[in-house]
Amino acid sequence: MTPLPDEPPVAICVLTFGAHPALAKRVLESISQYVPRSLYRLVVGANAVGEETGHYLQTLREREKIDHLIRSEANLNKCPMMRQMFQYVRSEFVWWFDDDSYVTSTDALPCRLRIARSAPRHVVMWGERFMCEHSVTFCHEDPVAFVRSAPWYQGLPPPFWEPGGKGEFNFNGRGTGDGRWFFLTGGGWFIRSAALKALEWPDPRLSMFGEDVFLGEAIRQQGWQIEHIGNLGVEVNSAPRRWIPDERRLGKTSG
């Protein structure tokens, strides 16, 4: 992911999934409409997208509207496909989109570039910040053990409510640890590509659920920070979740 001199500053990565051509068209056409082509290379992942979406994406690729198209007839799940997509990143920043997010303003990318380039180097990621207080909402296994066994773990106590969570023993005077997990929504975020490379993200143990929460924690473990900038010209998470219930878990995957 070393930025090259002739590369645009941003690699826009869009993950499409399933038989939802309207979503794929909306996000990609919004990028074409609102983002200057000179500022980005477009990498699209296509997970089991179906015939109509597949034909649409292939047409864009042939017209060089898409720079890299990675297709899988089977659903690889989000993180395995994300790993393949990131192999094509050579720009300074990565702008990630799930297919139910889309651009709404010509200011969206210029504002992000301005914010990121003026930020201290320890601020590495920007987007809409969320907070989870209960790990069951993003992980069906032990997230603390997952963090502590991660190659990106640097010894900071992970979030948990027992005394000692995030190094707290009397959080808000309650005699507990701090169990709050802060993260930027996985539907759309902006990050330094060097941070992704340093973390070797996504963690190969991740499949599709909780990857945004764990990315927030992986960043915290390095002493880096995420920054809340709101939607800022992007609509995110605009369609119902489409995960399969028995895939709501961590798990080793191939790909």
Residues β-bridged to residue 188: 97
Q: How far apart are CA 138 and CA 176, in angstroms?
A: 21
Mean pLDDT by 10 residues, the chain (255 residues): 75 96 97 98 96 97 98 95 97 97 98 98 97 86 94 98 97 97 96 98 91 97 98 89 46 31
pLDDT for 236 equals 93
Give 157's Cβ-side CA count (13 Å radius): 15
What confidence score (pLDDT) does residue 238 get? 85
| Identity of residue 81 | M
pTM for this entry = 0.91
CA dist., res. 216 & res. 135, Å (int): 14
Pick the CATH number of 10-240 from 3.50.50.60, 3.40.50.880, 3.90.550.10, 3.10.129.10: 3.90.550.10
CA 85 to chain centre: 12
